[in-house]
Amino acid sequence: REILLEVRDLRVEYATQNGPVEAVAGVDLTLAKGEFLGVVGESGCGKSTMLFGIAQLLNPPATVSGGEVLFKGENLVAMTAKSLNALRWRDFSVVMQSAMNALNPVHSIGRQFKDAIKAHARWPESQIKARSAEVLELVGIDPVHLKSFPHQLSGGMRQRAMIAMALLFTPDLIVMDEPTSALDVVAQRSLMAQIKELQKQLGFAVIFVTHDMSLVSHFSDRLMVMYAGQVVELGGTRAVFDAPAHPYSRGLLDAFPSIRGEVKRLTGIPGAPPNLGRPPSGCRFHPRCPVAMERCSVDVPELYLVDSVQARCLLHEPAAVSVEVES
């Protein structure tokens, strides 16, 4: 396993009137070449913020306040804007939640591809045309749509066009922020399958952010569950999905239609993620945790190894277990 990306203690802060709010509170992560990582959690848990922190796409008032993002050994956090721009699109690209916002409404798809290419390479016109057509075909869109404007495409086609654009230089990493969330369920599944197929074919790694755990369960190698700016569970997708070790992961799984398609009641987890300006004491999940113990509002859990996965829950704290066994 060759390491492509290594994130060390990444922290993101938002400046607010009431002082800094830490939206990402120390995330560690390694991603192998060609690996597909799903990142799940409710909105407001810091998933997108973490992704933008990795891709160096944060804008004030949000800034990376600590940590490193080593991409092929180079720390993106410390890189100049110029060096970062040289890497973007070429070595890693980003697919946003809404292509309608990411694409320029007044330019044709072809024109936008051309601009992206020209920012990074001096290719003759013929090569630009050929590559633009090629990537559109890769995502199943007739290259005739290079002439189309974003509003002339369906929502699903626009998202595909965004993915095509991300593939222009066949990067090693594509980070995706809920790229299918604006689509209906059928279009979502087909786009997911297509992303996976492209990934297998072209070998790029993916970090895929979504609030829907069942959506990524078929496609990711590993799952990362985030809560209140922290990783609360990380492990192989099958392991996390079949036997979630963290109470929050369990709640998330219950909150969504099962993978077999029947819609479960959206019971999920009552309440909402906390205000990160004043995160709960002890375990950040304790106010909502169905199995919270008295000490959970005091003691701060770390990520503990539970079989093959890591979970941030005191129920899995090794010391506590051994004391019980001895007494």
Residues 282-301 that bind Mg ion (CB under 5 A): none
Residue whose CB is less far from ligand SF4, 14 or 248:
248
Interacting residues toward ligand SF4 by CB under 6 A: 247, 283, 285-286, 289, 291-293, 296, 301, 313-315
Report, in Å, the least distance between residue 134 CB and ligand SF4.
48
Q: What is the size of the binding site for Mg ion (CB under 5 A)?
A: 1
Is position 48 an interface residue for Mg ion (rule: CB under 5 A)?
yes
CB of 247 to ligand SF4, least distance (A): 5
Q: Does 199 bind Mg ion (CB under 5 A)?
A: no
Q: How far is the CB of 64 from Mg ion (least distance, A)?
A: 17
Q: How many CA atoms lie within 13 A of 297 on its CB side?
A: 4
Q: Amino acid identity of 229?
A: G
Residue among 135, 205, 182 nearest 163 (CA): 135
> How buried is residue 92: exposed, middle or buried, by Cβ count under 10 Å (0-12/13-18/19+)?
buried
8 Å CB contact between 212 and 229:
no
**Are 174 and 94 in contact, with CB atoms under 8 Å apart?**
yes
Q: From Mg ion, ligand SF4, none, which one binds at residue 84 (CB under 5 to 8 Å depending on kind)?
A: none
Name the binder of 286 from Mg ion, ligand SF4, none, CB < 5-8 A by kind. ligand SF4
Task: Name which of Mg ion, ligand SF4, none residue 106 binds, using a CB cut-off of 5 to 8 Å depending on partner kind.
Answer: none
Nearest approach, Cβ of residue 260 and Mg ion (Å): 27
Residue 281 C-beta: closest distance to ligand SF4, Å: 11
Q: Tokens 């509170």 appear where?
A: 25
CB 204 within 8 A of CB 4: no
The interface partner of residue 296, options being ligand SF4, Mg ion, none and the CB cut-off 5 to 8 Å by kind, is ligand SF4
* 234, 56, 280, 233 alpha-carbon torsion, rounded to 10°: 0
Report strand pairing: 222-227 vs 304-306.
unpaired
Residue with tokens 């479960």: 264
Stretch that binds Mg ion, among 46-54, 122-130, 295-303, 319-327 (CB under 5 A): 46-54
Tell me whether residue 65 or residue 297 sits nearer to ligand SF4 (CB atom).
Answer: 297
d(CA 14, CA 23): 7
Q: Using the 8-state DSSP alphabet, how is residue 264 labeled?
A: P
The pair of structure tokens assigned to 137 is 């075909």
49 binds Mg ion (CB under 5 A): no
What, of ligand SF4, Mg ion, none, does residue 48 touch, CB below 5 to 8 Å by kind? Answer: Mg ion
CA distances from 22 to 9, 68, 274 (A): 13, 16, 12
By a kind-dependent CB cut-off of 5 to 8 A, residue 235 interacts, out of Mg ion, ligand SF4, none, with: none
Residue numbers at the binding site for Mg ion (CB under 5 A): 48
